[in-house]
């Protein structure tokens, strides 16, 4: 009987037309993302709400540069459009330049009139993540690393959350990224980030304080070589 029913269903035209699809709902990946320089395209996202820190922060705003993978995790009291706009203008645009493209999900902060006015003012193309496809936002992948670190913090619960976020920020910027083959700090500045004063003494002994290759080529050529390597890896 079961075999007969299965055979009938396979041949039934009405069944085929009305059956709910069991295919994944994720839309196609789309065109490959290409960037030529740091901060040409940035991704933004929010994490939280979390237990409030000693400073009253309960959310983490994430900014990721597509080219270098340089990360900005910012603790915030509230996940509002005004907080986002203030941060990216003061800490990203003013220091690293205005991006050509900004990618976010469809959170209320990012689809608000206030946020749209900002992107129009700076003439930025704003892309929004499609439903069922959060993986298209690179910030989502960074979020997984941040979330793992936060969970470890919450389990220990013996340090100030805002201070611990600074440690996460340092770790993300100094870890080799699989997509570029270098650390985000190196991709952006052309040299590795020192995390302790004693690093200078060690670098001096290894004759690497001035970044060896810089002695062979000028700074502009050196950075061009680095960026060409990154583009090849990407």
Q: Tokens in use for 92?
A: 């990203």
pLDDT score, position 181: 84
> H-helix or E-strand containing 4?
helix 2-11
Taking only the tens place, the pLDDT of each residue in 53-103 is 888 999 989 999 999 999 999 999 999 999 999 999 999 999 999 999 999
Q: Are 109 and 11 in contact (CB under 8 A)?
A: no
Residue 20, pLDDT > 60, answer no
Helix then strand count (H, E) for the chain reads 10, 5
Q: Are 187 and 230 in contact (CB under 8 A)?
A: yes
Q: What global pTM score does this model have?
A: 0.73
Pairwise CA distance, residues 115 & 51, whole Å: 27
What residues have CB less than 8 Å from 180, skipping those under 6 apart? 68, 69, 187, 230, 233, 234
pLDDT at 214: 47
Is residue 57 within 8 A of residue 161, CB to CB? The reply is yes
For residue 115, pLDDT over 70 is answered with yes
Residue 92: predicted pLDDT: 96
Rounded Cα distance, 104 and 87, in Å: 15
Structure tokens at 167: 């440690």
Q: Is the pLDDT of residue 157 over 60?
A: no
pLDDT of 5 above 70:
no
Mean pLDDT over the full length of the chain: 78
């Amino acid at each position: 009987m079961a075999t007969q029913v299965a055979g009938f269903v396979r041949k039934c035209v009405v069944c085929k037309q009305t059956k709910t699809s069991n295919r994944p709902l994720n839309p196609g990946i789309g065109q490959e993302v290409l960037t030529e320089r740091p901060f040409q395209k940035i991704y933004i996202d929010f994490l939280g709400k979390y237990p409030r820190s000693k400073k009253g922060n309960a959310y983490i705003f994430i900014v990721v540069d597509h080219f270098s993978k340089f990360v900005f995790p910012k603790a915030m009291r509230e996940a509002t459009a005004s907080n986002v706009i203030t941060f990216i203008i003061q800490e990203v645009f003013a220091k690293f330049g205005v991006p050509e493209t900004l990618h976010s999900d469809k959170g209320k902060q990012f689809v608000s009139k206030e946020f749209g006015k900002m992107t129009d003012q700076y003439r930025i193309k704003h892309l929004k993540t499609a439903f069922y496809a959060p993986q298209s936002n690179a910030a989502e992948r960074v979020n997984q690393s941040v979330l793992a670190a936060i969970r470890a913090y919450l389990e220990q619960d013996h340090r100030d959350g805002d201070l611990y976020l600074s440690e996460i920020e340092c770790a993300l910027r100094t870890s080799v990224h699989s997509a570029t083959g270098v650390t985000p700090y190196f991709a952006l500045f052309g040299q590795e980030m020192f995390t302790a004063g004693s690093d200078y003494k060690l670098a001096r002994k290894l004759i690497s304080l001035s970044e060896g290759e810089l002695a062979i080529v000028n700074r502009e050529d050196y950075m061009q070589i680095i960026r060409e390597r990154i583009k090849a890896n990407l």
